Amino acid sequence: MKRYLPFIIVGAVALATLGSGAMLYRAKRPHLLTIPTDKNVSGKGAAESVHVRGNPDAPVTLEEFGDFQCPPCGSMAGFIDRLLKEYHPNLKVIFRNFPLPVHKFAREAALAAEAAGLQGHYWEMHEVLYREQAVWSKADNAQELFHSYAGMLGLNLDQFKKDMQSEKVRERVDSDQERGNSLGVKSTPTVFINNQEVAPNEKTPNGLRATINAALKQKPSKA
């Protein structure tokens, strides 16, 4: 019996590891969210705070809940730009602020983007914030950097500073966040394509392409 004991111990540990790994996988497997029809946003001025890029009548809508300090959101911003060009005029992109509390400057960055949006430069600030993410994320005073980005974009700096503190800008960020919370968003980037959440493992250029192609098959293309 003793001769076989090490085999029994090793076998038992292998089974226990596989079993607990499988149980953990089942528990952590993502439950994909859906945007109910009454919460759809057309992107045609339904709310002035909605930031839309691409053809407003596109058959495919990609809605992203993002955080400017989240590294995966930064990577995704780059390939969403490429997808917009690749799928024009069949894709429109909506960006929603969802600053996570674990990120120290995420909310301030969202306020900066919205303040730039009031001067008509939301997407330019969006691009700069993601491009410079590694710099301002580790700065002692990120706000100073946001001001310098506003200057770089040619914004009225005094107005920008006032807007960043304004109730209107705060409400815009809060409204996006409330929408995310009501849909069950917990992490960033959370991406919906035609109201169906994209699985975390599909949030890659190829995964998003496959999901957009599937959505295009269901809805007629504009091309």
Spatial separation of the C-alpha atoms in residues 81 and 84, rounded to whole Å? 5
Pick the closer one to other proteins by CB: 67 or 163: 67
- Smallest gap, in angstroms, from Cβ of residue 186 to other proteins? 6
- Smallest gap, in angstroms, from Cβ of residue 46 to other proteins? 27
On whether the CB atoms of residues 116 and 155 are closer than 8 A, the answer is yes
Spatial separation of the C-alpha atoms in residues 101 and 107, rounded to whole Å? 8
Residues 161-220 that bind other proteins (CB under 8 A): 186-190, 199-204
- Smallest gap, in angstroms, from Cβ of residue 125 to other proteins? 20
Spatial separation of the C-alpha atoms in residues 45 and 164, rounded to whole Å? 22
- Beta bridge partners of residue 62, listed in sequence order: 93, 193
Pick the closer one to other proteins by CB: 199 or 214: 199
52 Cβ contact list (under 8 Å, min separation 6): 43, 92, 93, 94
Mark the segment that binds other proteins (CB under 8 A) among 7-15, 88-96, 122-130, 148-156: 7-15
Mark the segment that binds other proteins (CB under 8 A) among 20-28, 77-85, 142-150, 174-182: 20-28
Residues 28-87 that bind other proteins (CB under 8 A): 28-30, 67, 69-73
Residues 94-153 that bind other proteins (CB under 8 A): 100, 102-103
- Smallest gap, in angstroms, from Cβ of residue 201 to other proteins? 4
Q: Is 1 one of the binding residues for other proteins (CB under 8 A)? A: no
- Starting at the edge strand that comes first in sequence, how are the strands of the sheet with 190-193 ordered? 51-54, 91-97, 60-66, 190-193, 196-197
Three-state SS letters, 105-124: CHHHHHHHHHHHHHCCCHHH
| Closest CA relative to residue 80, chosen from 89, 91, 71 | 91
Q: How far is CA 194 from CA 33, 36, 51, 61, 187, in A?
A: 12, 11, 16, 5, 19
Site size for other proteins (CB under 8 A) = 36
- Smallest gap, in angstroms, from Cβ of residue 208 to other proteins? 12
Pick the closer one to other proteins by CB: 44 or 186: 186
- Smallest gap, in angstroms, from Cβ of residue 128 to other proteins? 20
Please give the residue ranges that form the binding site for other proteins (CB under 8 A): 2-3, 5-6, 9-10, 13-14, 17, 20-21, 24-25, 28-30, 67, 69-73, 100, 102-103, 186-190, 199-204
